[in-house]
Chains A and B, each alone.
Chain A
């Protein structure tokens, strides 16, 4: 452990006293000592917004739990990354999410659900978030039935990476969904098909067309038909 000085923070994490540089988040501090705190929305390459709250931890037994992805380590604090209160919050968030969204292709989320003893039928008669599948371009398919609203695709499309601004969030509350302006198709949007949104999607909501086609049982020929459009477009412009 490094020496404590003005720029170092010493605190207790799950009973272990540790010292970290000032500004270290609780998520990072836990990783330093080999502890993984579960989190859905956080990604190293995108701005952390503290949305999913699955990473909440107990700091000094405070009234509010703290999101480990953004909360910074504080001097002399006592942090518990997993206790009864934390487990109830994580389990309930996962159960509510599972009752709203198809999580079957979110591998990490599936593991969390196992770990926290999620009851898959906890909320009977719950209204699910249902959407039509958007198959409107030769590159990728959007299946928002699997979207957990982590915002990462919207973020990489905007200031976090590409500055394309094809995506936004529509409506609000439970009805919030990722959208283009007036829900126009991707070919009519400013999308440049950079693919970064697909790379950061934590579930199967965004998928390359080829992968999607194979899953649908299409033959290589059928898939080629489906993804030919851009080559034609190129010929036209020459």
Chain B
């Protein structure tokens, strides 16, 4: 079962490499030995010329890396809201009592380590788990039917993509069990059109005209970002695709990568052509082994036929895409923290300005876009901006993906034309709420709650903003009246405590103080509500990055909507 590889053999592949190879080499060592010990750090320090203390700091930052011995098999069970509703706690506790250990511990025989995990992005198949096999790698399992499958694993792909909606564009032609191969995807039509008939400036103009705005959460106009990067002085320019999808309740980017890898590759290449880059990085979260394998297979296919690589389609445009694997840190979805991770550092967000368009990866002009954003581009170039604008509203153009999970009859990824209401989405597409609706969490852990009275809101960027809510990452988690919202808040609070990077004081301290109060909401102290408000507003107004600025968003919206949750009784 194990591949017997030595540390020397691993390091041989890294001779001459620099610090940006740190996460890849740590992954190789972690996979081979189950942890990264002091001797390995000593050798890596020599090979990459990075101080040992820095390497140790990096290992201890990322949750999928271990500096102490682990079991042959590491089993991680997700306990965030959607999996929590599906009985993840019972699964985790059952597994622990079966093995006679607590989570965070390793069995005496060294066979198993059990951990709980932040959202694994398999919310439509909850409950979910991620297993690491020593010497082999990671496997996602969802839904987890019983503890046997966790201990023994499975030879079968466990889940199929659940998709729906009224306008399959991004999700067109999807085989729900397998990645779309090149022979089904066809030629990179949009890229060929751009290279043969269009200048980079015209590609940017078309994207600007389309009104496409970023799908990762910040909703920045994509064309404008590309223009800023193209115009920036300093070489080289880089494209980075942010596939660190980690917002609890969000799984659309995983489904896109697993089902339509070539659509994403074509979008990344188009961005490279437009901004004048020859290198693109695809940063995929470490919890997505299936997406990573399928994307790598697609890159290999595209290289073989010259759709990527040197002199693409006989032109003077060369473009290479390299996959980088995250190692367990929600903060790396923050664009500058993601750059730090690629550069081989702890995933700390940088101070902005300067912005990535002028000072991004390796300090160079960089466009960083979300997976779904880049997947929207080939259609815009092939069919034109007018075609794209025919979907949605004036300010929310183009098809949009949402990830729906929790108490609906058919959780999954839905492709919608912005403008339908949340009620229509839940009733018509998701086949209705199971039980009686109590609340909807929009935008994931960093989002806000809507009450049953508010679900006639139209799903557009502008309508949601007006309602004090957000598309955010496109996560929609539904709770029926059986759900204890205090329990949901505790899970969100634990998530942020676990994922705060610790750089700025408000978030580092506030995420801890916040969860302490949330955990005692069944018997709150007098003034706990005002404590939560002070913590919440301080994190919102003073934190360094978007994580801290939204770490109290759901709590503050719950205080506004259900103040009684925060009182005694």
Contact = CB atoms under 8 A, between A and B. Distances in A.
Interface of A: 40, 49-54, 56, 63-65, 67, 70, 85, 88-89, 91-93, 95-97, 99-100, 122-127, 148-149, 158, 165-176, 179-182, 189-190
A96 B541 contact: no
Contacts of B55: 181
B189 interface: no
24 contacts: A49-B351, A52-B505, A53-B506, A54-B505, A56-B542, A88-B538, A91-B534, A92-B534, A92-B538, A149-B508, A165-B54, A169-B346, A170-B60, A171-B60, A172-B60, A172-B61, A173-B497, A173-B498, A173-B499, A173-B511, A174-B502, A179-B53, A182-B38, A182-B67
Contacts of A126: 512-513, 516
Nearest to B67: A182
Interface extent on B, as a size class?
Answer: 35 or more
A53 B500 contact: no
A180 to B, nearest CB: 6
The binding surface of chain B is classed by DSSP as helix
Q: Which of B53, B502, B543 has most chain A Cβ within 10 Å?
A: B53
A189 B535 contact: no
Q: Which of B52, B509, B534, B535 has most chain A Cβ within 10 Å?
A: B509
Nearest to B62: A172
Given A123-B531, A169-B346, A182 B497 contact: no
A173 B501 contact: yes
Interface string B516-530: 100010000100000
Interface of B: 38, 41, 51-57, 60-61, 67, 329, 346, 351, 497-506, 508-513, 516, 520, 525, 531, 534-535, 537-538, 541-544, 549
Given A172-B501, A173-B502, A64 B513 contact: no
A54 B525 CA distance: 27
Nearest to B538: A92
Contacts of B534: 88, 91-92, 95
Contacts of B53: 165-168, 179-181, 189-190
Contacts of A169: 57, 61, 346, 502
A174 B510 CA distance: 9
A109 B481 CA distance: 47
Contact of B504 (A53, A88, A170): A53
Given A165-B54, A173-B500, A181-B53, A89 B538 contact: yes
A93 B540 CA distance: 12
Contact of B57 (A52, A93, A168): A168
A168 B345 CA distance: 11
A23 to B, nearest CB: 12
A51 B60 contact: no
A68 to B, nearest CB: 12
B508 A64 contact: no
B509 A100 contact: yes
B301 to A, nearest CB: 38
Contacts of A92: 506, 510, 534-535, 537-538
Contacts of B346: 169, 172
A165 B51 contact: yes
Contact of B512 (A40, A93, A174, A182): A174
A182 B59 CA distance: 10
Contacts of A49: 351, 503
A158 B54 CA distance: 10
Contacts of B505: 40, 51-54, 93, 96-97, 148-149
Contacts of B544: 50-51, 53, 67
